[in-house]
Amino acid sequence: MAIAHYLKEIGRGKHSARALSREQARDLFGQLLDGALSDLELGAFCIAMRVKGETPQEMAGFLDATQERVQPLAACDRPVMVLPSYNGARKLPLLTPLLALLLAREGLAVLVHGAASESSRVFTSEVLAALGIHPQTSASPLAGGRVSFLPTDLLCPGLQRLLDVRRVLGLRNPAHSLVKMLNPVRGPSLVVASYTHPQYARLMADTFTLTAANAMLLRATEGEPVADPRRMPQMDGFLAGRQLALQPAQSGPVEALGELPMGCETPATARYIRAVMAAELPVPAPIAQQVAHLLQMGAQL
């Protein structure tokens, strides 16, 4: 199939482009994920959407298509916490693994999915490997009290292809927002989603409402779904799409935490996480509060 009729709608420029319906978006994105389109069509879609911007209906349709093709994972006896991790760290220590381990310590199953998108950043898979948690080579069953890392190319190869387009074009496309909202678990589960730019907060919130999602949405720490250890971010919850105000943002400058390692090097980050898990160092207050909110929400699933 071809998508010229869709490109005519979305490719008219920022002010003249027309949004797709949820069903149209589902059909178009499904063709992209199936690899049914040429590189020219794929590039045209990415550029057109970069100029136009996504609507909640379009994002919901893109998610519909992805859920139809993603490797499904069954929930276990406890709610599963899903941590999409795609941005990595370039300045601060990457503490998504700490959030995952703290949740697993409470008996929850934790699924981290992600992929490295740049060569100049430290990614969660590297920190987890330094902590003895290695990427899965197949979609293994989830278990309470355990952290699992599933690479995106195992989760959905077509989605990985879309993410890789950024290396060629140098621009993000809808897949980079979609993966942060993706929950492949079938059963009681909650996705921890993050946004970097404020304009995506409303888009993601409206998409969660449309898709009746269970989720937490917070301002990202360098794009990662973990609270900034130096200052409390705003956190909102969604239960079956109903939005809940969980935590207001802390105002004022960021705090200097002497316990945090300087920079984002993997060995120092892993040592810090081990020290926190061994109670040799305190859990940063914003991350402790994030865990508390997630446990409370998980109890309602």
Q: Are strands 147-151 and 185-186 parallel, antiparallel or unpaired?
A: unpaired
Cβ partners under 8 Å of residue 116, min gap 6 = 88, 123, 125
pLDDT tens for each residue of 277-294: 999 999 999 999 999 999
| Residue showing tokens 């942060």 | 180
pLDDT tens for each residue of 216-256: 999 999 999 999 999 999 999 999 999 999 999 998 777 77
Confidence at residue 118, expressed as pLDDT on a 0 to 100 scale: 72
* Cα distance between residue 124 and residue 220, in whole Å: 14
Closest-CA residue to 131 (of 146, 141, 118, 119): 146
**pTM of the shown model:** 0.95
Which 8-state DSSP code applies to residue 224?
A: B
* Cα distance between residue 219 and residue 249, in whole Å: 9
Band (pLDDT 50/70/90 cuts) for residue 169 is confident
| Residue showing tokens 């949405």 | 217
Ordered structural domains, the chain, with CATH: 4-69 (1.20.970.10), 75-298 (3.40.1030.10)
Please check the confidence at residue 1 and state whether its pLDDT lies above 70: no
